Structure 1
């Protein structure tokens, strides 16, 4: 898999608790991909894309590094991205 729907990726990476919440977050303009606002939950993300996500508690800056077929636990979710606010791995 070299691409995945944005809403599905956000859900698998545990940014939100439900896929419908991920779709709403995108549709309301709270997600940017490589600096460009994205309003389509079906937009494909690929490894290397940098997501800027505005949430209630602040802003998250994440680099996509992988995909998952299913939503896993927090450890599995952490393997899908690099947290750019925490510095490089």
Structure 2
């Protein structure tokens, strides 16, 4: 796709196989818990571009992704995995020396 090109958020989530169906992708986008480059998103039509950072809860975990490429179709899982890079989320350190395993 051309430089400056974008794709709808729900289509990206579906094409990248993050959501199983397009309606599930729309629900993720419209729930209001997804952040796109730090901004809270409540609409499925929000534009996603290469380099955008997506952070959202999914299946009990918080996922953070950097968009590496825009898809032109919903391809196989191996192709979908090349569209984004998972990012590591920084966990806060325990306060006052309290360990999480204690």
Q: Same fold (TM over 0.5)?
A: yes
Deviation at 1:53, TM superposition (A): 1.5
Question: Is 1:30 matched with 2:51?
Answer: no
Deviation at 1:57, TM superposition (A): 2.7
The alignment yields a C-alpha RMSD, in angstroms, of 1.3
Larger radius of gyration: 2
Counterpart contact for 1:30–1:55, Cα < 8 Å: no
Tell me, what secondary structure is at the counterpart of 1:60? strand
| TM-score, structure 2 normalization | 0.79
Alpha-carbon displacement from aligned partner over 1:6-25 (angstroms, at most 9, x marks no partner): 00000111111001101011
Question: Is 1:41 matched with 2:44?
Answer: yes
Count of aligned positions: 86
Deviation at 1:30, TM superposition (A): 2.5
| TM-score, structure 1 normalization | 0.90
Deviation at 1:67, TM superposition (A): 1.2
Tell me, what secondary structure is at the counterpart of 2:55? strand
User: 2:55 maps to which residue?
Assistant: 52
Q: Following the alignment from structure 2 to structure 1, what is the Cα–Cα distance between the partners of residues 57 and 25?
A: 12
Considering Cα pairs closer than 8 Å and 6+ residues apart, tell me whether 1 or 2 has the greater RCO: 1
Runs of 4+ in 1 over 2 A off after TM superposition: none
